């Protein structure tokens, strides 16, 4: 609900000055009645004047505070809750890496803080779609960008694919730059970005560059965009050769051996992290693979590559994994194979979250 900020703060400060507990509680009850509807609002808290300063507040949370103030056993306790409510309304408390107002942390109930992500349905709004085989669902960059970047900051995606990160970044008023080795795929991403013209399109950069993230001079690329560094990097590499993305020999999906895949991933890691501000975060989205009767833990191998470089592991998130298009039609076959072969069918992938270390 939208309130007249000056008025509500004035009322709460007045109530806080009350010396008798029952009078304080009566005033809170009166305030609650006034909040019920504009018709009953004799205090003018819901009357928003044209130039008035307003505050947008979650009604449920406001009423739960007012209830606590009213039902506290002592006047000191009631005043303690009033002070907390005043803080909640008046002050903004944000950290260095995002815009989450910690004084209002209860309002961010859609931001995941558990390490198990069960995401039911892909966000297909706007130009987002599942059309590119191997893209990730937009909720992944959405969650990560809101947790690890502030508005107007810069995000790098060295495996940009169909541009999911870039589309999401621009919607969230972040700038982004993506690198994609396959020119046709980069074109597809560009097409989507051009179609997805929102009110923010004009003001936020979402640039897609065709190139090999291992050898491209990322510093120069950023310079051309007028910046020296980025504040978040999201890596979504091919899960080695599970899906062949192109015929290009530098495409990670064309690596002949696991060692080669990890070595090339390491080059991309170093090249990309050289432009990440120190103390900032990066994420790797990766799944494992099953081949010739053996589970190949690509996620753990890749994590090891990062840890070798002394970056700080902050979380291992396990995310549910919906069937790929290929496997969807073969669900029963895979179940049969699993029963025969003594293994489990993949239903998860990882989001590995790191903070750039001193030696990055
Ligand atoms: C798993 S997909 C990323 C999908 C992306 N997150 C999306 O939502 O569309 C990996 C992408 O990395 C690209 N790629 C592979 N090797 C690369 C390299 N060396 N440099 C840049 N891009 C590469 C592939 O062409 C593919 O589009």
Question: What's the 160 CA to ligand 1 centre distance in angstroms?
Answer: 5
Whether residue 126 is contained in a domain is answered as yes
* Residue among 251, 261, 286 to mutate when testing ligand 1 (max atoms within 8 A of CB): 251
Q: Give the per-residue pLDDT at 97.
A: 96
Question: Which atom of ligand 1 is the closest one to the Cα of 234?
Answer: 6
Pair 349, 218 in one domain: yes
CB 62 within 8 A of CB 15: no
Q: Give the per-residue pLDDT at 130.
A: 74
pLDDT-based confidence at 233, cuts 50/70/90? very high
- How many other CB atoms are found less than 10 A from the CB of residue 154? 23
Closest listed residue to residue 219, CA positions, set 210, 227, 207, 209: 227
CB 208 within 8 A of CB 186: yes
CB 271 within 8 A of CB 282: no
Q: Model confidence over 148-170: pLDDT tens digits?
A: 999 999 999 999 999 999 999 99
Whether residue 195 is contained in a domain is answered as yes
Quote the CA–CA distance of 153 and 175 in Å, as a whole number: 6
Question: What's the 333 CA to ligand 1 centre distance in angstroms?
Answer: 29
Pair 223, 140 in one domain: yes
Pair 164, 29 in one domain: no
Residue with CA closest to ligand 1 atom 3: 161
Closest listed residue to residue 71, CA positions, set 103, 119, 28, 115: 28
User: Is residue 50 pLDDT above 70, yes or no?
Assistant: no
Pair 285, 193 in one domain: yes
Q: What pTM value is reported for the model?
A: 0.88
Quote the CA–CA distance of 182 and 164 in Å, as a whole number: 15
Whether residue 101 is contained in a domain is answered as no
Q: Hunting for tokens 């960008």 — which residue is that?
A: 145
Q: What are the φ and ψ backbone dihedral angles of 262, each rounded to 5 degrees?
A: -70, -35
Pair 263, 315 in one domain: yes
User: Is residue 360 pLDDT above 60, yes or no?
Assistant: no
Helix H or strand E segment including 210: strand 206-210
Cβ–ligand 1 distance for 129 under 6 Å, the answer no
How far is C-alpha 302 from the chain's CA centre?
21
Question: What's the 326 CA to ligand 1 centre distance in angstroms?
Answer: 18
Whether residue 108 is contained in a domain is answered as no
Pair 201, 160 in one domain: yes
CATH code, 155 = 3.40.50.150
Pair 233, 175 in one domain: yes
Pair 197, 298 in one domain: yes
* Residue among 181, 192, 269 to mutate when testing ligand 1 (max atoms within 8 A of CB): 181
- How far CA 334 is from CA of 120, 312, 328, 329, 341, in Å, comes to 22, 37, 10, 10, 10
Whether residue 107 is contained in a domain is answered as no
Whether residue 37 is contained in a domain is answered as yes
Domain containing 312: what range?
116-355
Question: What's the 220 CA to ligand 1 centre distance in angstroms?
Answer: 21
Pair 134, 75 in one domain: no
Pair 62, 152 in one domain: no
Question: What's the 134 CA to ligand 1 centre distance in angstroms?
Answer: 9
Question: Which atom of ligand 1 is the closest one to the Cα of 214?
Answer: 19
Q: Look at the chain and report how many structural domains it folds into.
A: 2
Cβ–ligand 1 distance for 246 under 6 Å, the answer yes
Please enumerate in sequence order all residues whose Cβ is within 8 A of that of 170, keeping only pairs 6 or more positions apart, or say none: 176, 193, 196, 198, 200, 201, 204, 206
Q: What are the φ and ψ backbone dihedral angles of 358, each rounded to 5 degrees?
A: -65, -30
In 3-state terms, what secondary structure has residue 38? Answer: helix
Whether residue 181 is contained in a domain is answered as yes
């Amino acid at each position: 609900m939208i309130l007249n900020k000056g008025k509500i703060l004035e009322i709460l400060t007045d109530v806080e000055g009350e010396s008798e507990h029952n009078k304080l509680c009566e005033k809170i009850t009166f305030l609650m009645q006034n909040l019920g509807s504009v018709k009953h609002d004799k205090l003018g808290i819901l009357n928003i004047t044209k130039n008035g300063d307003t505050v947008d507040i979650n009604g449920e949370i406001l009423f739960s505070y007012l209830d606590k103030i009213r039902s506290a056993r002592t006047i000191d306790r009631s005043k303690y809750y009033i002070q907390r409510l005043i803080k909640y309304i008046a002050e903004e408390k944000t950290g260095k890496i995002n815009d989450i107002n910690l004084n209002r942390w209860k309002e961010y109930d859609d931001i995941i803080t558990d390490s198990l992500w069960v995401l039911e349905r892909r966000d297909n709004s706007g130009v987002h779609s599942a059309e590119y085989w191997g893209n990730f669902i937009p909720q992944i960059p959405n969650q990560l960008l809101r947790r690890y970047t502030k508005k107007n900051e810069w995000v790098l995606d060295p495996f940009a694919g169909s541009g999911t990160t870039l589309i999401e970044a621009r919607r969230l008023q972040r700038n982004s730059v993506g690198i994609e080795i396959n020119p046709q795929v980069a074109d597809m991403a560009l097409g989507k970005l051009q179609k997805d013209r929102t009110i923010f399109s004009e003001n936020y950069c979402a640039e897609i560059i065709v190139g090999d993230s291992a050898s491209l001079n990322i510093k120069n690329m950023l310079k051309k965009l007028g910046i020296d560094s980025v504040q978040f990097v999201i890596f979504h590499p091919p899960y080695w050769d599970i899906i062949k993305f192109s015929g290009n020999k530098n495409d990670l999906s064309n690596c002949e051996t696991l060692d080669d895949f990890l070595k090339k991933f390491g080059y991309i890691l170093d090249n990309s992290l050289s432009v990440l501000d120190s103390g900032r975060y990066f994420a790797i989205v990766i799944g494992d693979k099953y081949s010739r009767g053996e589970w190949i833990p690509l996620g753990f191998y890749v994590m090891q590559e990062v840890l070798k470089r002394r970056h700080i592991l902050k979380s291992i998130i396990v995310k549910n994994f919906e069937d790929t298009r290929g496997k969807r039609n073969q669900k029963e076959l895979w179940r049969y194979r699993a029963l025969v072969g003594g293994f489990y069918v993949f239903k998860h992938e990882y989001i590995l979250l790191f903070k750039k270390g001193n030696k990055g």
